[in-house]
Amino acid sequence: MTAEISPRMAIRGRPRTTGAFTCDRCSRAASKHRASWPEGRICGTCFTVAMRTHGNCPGCGTERMLPGRSASHSDNPVCADCAGITQDYHCSGCGTETEHYRQNTCARCSLRSDLAGLLHVDESQGTETTAAKLLGALTGAQRPESILTWLRKSGVRELLERVAIGEIPLSHEALDREPRSLRVEHLRSLLVHHKLLPVRDHYLALFERWLSGKLDDIDDIEVRRPIESFARWHHLRRIRTLSTDGKPTRGPVHSAKQEITETIKFLVWLKVTHGRTVASCLQADVDAWLADGPTTRHAIRTFFVWAVKNRTCTNITIGFRQAKTVPLLTQAQRLTMLKACLTDNIDTLSYRVAATLLLLYAQPVVKIAAMKSTDVILTPDGPRLSLGEEHPAPVPEPFASLLTKHLASRPNMRTGSSSGSPWLFPGYRAGQHVHPNTLMTRLREIGIDLLGARNASLRGLVNEIPAPLVAEMLGYSYQVTQKHATAAAEPWSRYAGTLPGPR
């Protein structure tokens, strides 16, 4: 197996248009020009950049939009007056100098006008009505164009109107009663971000809804009764405790759903095939089920551990499933991928940073997705990463420069929100980080074997650093790093006297 970077990921970004027209600012071909200014005809890309350039004009000293270019220094942006641009880009609604979105008005004024009519906002009734609160939240987005784009999606306007008139109350329970859709979840994210709805654990809520539907689908009471007890008293109670403690619940929810689903399959098979229930289940039944099927069937182990403990059944034992193989890249493969992420433009900056966190620090993708910007500690000696409970990890060059650059230019910082995101990798929805599945898919597309890369990184680290220190620095358990240290022929006993003292 060789480490390769997928060719389809070599170039990222929106493709440039081609045509007979040549932009007089960037000299690139385009299909049509967006504006005609004293320097010539300007393509759409250069026009958009110009409309978003603000600062102090070097010609007149005024702080304003700087769309033009100085006649003496073509690289210096200047204001419209100093550049001789005759078009007036002041919004007729708010007076802001910016790109016009519609009929001499900016995107924010256009959005406010659209929403005011859609939500039937009556300003004489104050700002405490549901419609007024919704209007304020949506027009407060740092990038109002994103909300205008969202409004064009099917069903969004109808959903907002129903919320504004009170047909859908402002509550999580009311939104839960709506058919599940991306537009409902996006609206929920916006309302939570702008404090119109309380924060709640997204994965816990999904699990509760999933469990209710799963139980309703079980017709046999002798199957449903033990499943419901197991799901509610073991899994649901545990996940709620994790949520209350502020710990991530995505992984536990995923495991719980798989264990419940596999247990339902087993109990149904047991009843149909042998006419037995969990109370009369035999060890031979369990052994036959595990031997004649995929490895996912082993997920019933948790149920039987719980059932024996609660005396629902007796004398059923299932050992831990041992993986037959351990995915593992060679260190040469890992280093080749790491070099590509650090020095080549194999993807956008944020995904290169995420890939490096996997390849260099052996961080699980789920944990990477949920990292906060405060986990990057900026010190006079360079950035450090807070990955475990103790000993922030040092960040070597050139990753230190990439990480610092990413921190200053994180994507999705202005979509649907009026304040910065706390996440190191912000997602498309307001107030949420990038979804782990999105991150996993993207890293696989650039040729990274996620589990193989993480195992290789851990093996490399325990060969260079005392394994207990690796556990504390990277947030792993001692058992995991001991396993890798043993596999790498570096037992912990060698490092017993090397652990640093308390700080």
Query: From CA 44, how far away is CA 52, in angstroms rounded?
Result: 13
Helices (H) and strands (E) in the chain, counts: 22, 11
Determine the pLDDT at residue 85. Answer: 93
> What DSSP element (H or E) covers 82?
helix 80-83
Determine the pLDDT at residue 375. Answer: 92
Query: From CA 156, how far away is CA 184, in angstroms rounded?
Result: 8
Instruction: Give residue 344's Cα distance to chain centre.
Output: 23
Phi, psi of 47, rounded to the nearest 5 degrees: -65, -45
Determine the pLDDT at residue 70. Answer: 84
In this prediction, residue 415 has a pLDDT band, given cuts at 50, 70 and 90, of: low
Question: What does R_g of the chain's alpha carbons equal in angstroms?
Answer: 29
Strand partners of residue 135: none
Contact between 110 and 101 under an 8 Å Cβ cutoff? The reply is: yes
In this prediction, residue 472 has a pLDDT band, given cuts at 50, 70 and 90, of: confident
Position 343 pLDDT exceeds 70: yes
Determine the pLDDT at residue 498. Answer: 42
pLDDT digits (tens, 9 = 90+) for 102-119: 889 999 999 999 999 898
Position 491 pLDDT exceeds 80: no
Strand partners of residue 341: none
pLDDT digits (tens, 9 = 90+) for 158-189: 999 999 888 999 899 999 999 989 899 889 98
| 286 CB-near residues (< 8 Å, 6+ apart) | 266, 300, 304, 316, 318
Higher pLDDT, 466 or 304: 304
Domain extent listing, the chain = 25-83, 126-193, 202-309, 331-495
Query: From CA 137, how far away is CA 150, in angstroms rounded?
Result: 14
Higher pLDDT, 406 or 485: 406
Query: From CA 488, how far away is CA 416, in angstroms rounded?
Result: 48
pLDDT (average), residues 275-281: 93
Mean pLDDT, rounded, of the chain: 85
Least confident of 3-12, 16-25, 147-156, 209-218: 3-12
| 180 CB-near residues (< 8 Å, 6+ apart) | none
Query: From CA 282, how far away is CA 423, in angstroms rounded?
Result: 50
% pLDDT > 90, the chain = 45
Position 433 pLDDT exceeds 80: yes
Least confident of 50-59, 124-133, 229-238: 124-133
pLDDT digits (tens, 9 = 90+) for 46-59: 999 999 899 999 98
- Domain 331-495 of CATH type 1.10.443.10: yes
Determine the pLDDT at residue 417. Answer: 55
Least confident of 270-279, 297-306, 445-454, 487-496: 487-496
pTM: 0.69
Q: Token digits for 135?
A: 């209007």
Position 125 pLDDT exceeds 80: no
Position 10 pLDDT exceeds 50: no
Contact between 262 and 239 under an 8 Å Cβ cutoff? The reply is: no
